[in-house]
Amino acid sequence: MKFMFWKKEESLLIQELREAREQFSSMEEKLSDMDKQIQKATRLQYKTGKNIEGKLGDIGSLLDARKETGTVPLSDAAIEKLIRQVDDMDLVHAGLAEDTQWAELLIKWKDSLLSLLAEAGVRDSVRPGDMFDPALAEAVEAVELAEPHRPFEVFRVYKRTFTNSSGEVIRKGQVATVKEERK
């Protein structure tokens, strides 16, 4: 013989058990979704880490190359712009012979740009007093000078000659040379 109050309690228990199973099933789905998201995040983190590791390796290689060669990598366009700025400063400096303050400031700026180019492996290769080399410069003027100057010596630089660290000419300069002695 069954009493009715047991039946009510039994149906309540079954209903609570069903609700608990539904909650458990819902929690199980949420845990499964979270597991998938964690796996995606882990893969993304791994890819990002590898990408960063590769980029840091590239930076390390550049730094190693700089240590070995003593140069800073600059693009060809950046080098050309720096060379043009040096040319402009040379022209302005030539016109400011009387104004020593501006002339000194321009010399500092030019030296700074030439230093930056040197760090990139670009050298100013022809100076007054050097012997003329047609592979490095174009003689646009020949001047008659007496001793102690030698024939074909570079007397004045109008446009600087720039070479890279391998000695290849980036830009030929323009110079004035001492005329050959006539006998």
For residue 9, what are the CA distances in angstroms to 14, 41, 102? 9, 47, 102
CB count in 10 Å sphere of residue 106: 19
Residue 162 parent element (H or E): strand 162-163
**pLDDT value at position 128?**
92
**What's the distance, CA 86 to chain centroid?**
20
Centroid of chain to Cα 174: 30
Q: What is the pLDDT of residue 86?
A: 85
Q: What is the pTM of this model?
A: 0.55
Residue 17: CB partners within 8 Å, gap ≥ 6? none
Predicted pLDDT of residue 10: 72
pLDDT at 40: 84
Percent of the residues in the chain that have a pLDDT greater than 70, as a whole number? 78
pLDDT digits (tens, 9 = 90+) for 104-148: 778 888 888 888 888 888 999 999 999 999 999 999 998 887 678
Residue type at 1 in one-letter notation? M
